[in-house]
């Protein structure tokens, strides 16, 4: 069951079957809501220190690009 464990300023973190997901707006000039998997350490970083959010999102976007995905397009 999907459980919301963090929700602040349009950033939400969910835990589902032992996996963590972040929902965020990846758009620059338009809304592009994405939900992507992150690890437990990244989830904890954001929950405990909001200033780490951009570091986690940047790393996530770089990972998506390497996989051939467009990180600025909605996937939900």
Distance CA 35, CA 43 (A): 13
Position 63 scores a pLDDT of: 97
Distance CA 51, CA 75 (A): 25
Position 61 scores a pLDDT of: 97
8 Å CB contact between 33 and 25: yes
Distance CA 12, CA 23 (A): 5
Give the pTM: 0.92
> Can you give the pLDDT of all 76 residues of the chain as single tens digits?
899 999 999 999 999 999 999 999 999 889 999 999 999 999 999 999 999 999 999 999 999 999 999 999 999 9
Distance CA 33, CA 27 (A): 7
């Amino acid at each position: 069951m999907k459980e919301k464990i963090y929700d602040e300023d349009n950033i939400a973190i969910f835990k589902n079957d032992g996996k963590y997901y972040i929902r965020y707006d990846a758009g620059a000039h338009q809304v592009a809501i994405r939900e992507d998997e992150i690890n437990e350490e990244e989830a904890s970083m954001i929950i405990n220190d909001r200033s780490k959010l951009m570091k986690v999102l940047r790393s996530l976007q770089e990972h998506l690009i390497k996989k051939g995905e467009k990180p600025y397009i909605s996937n939900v």
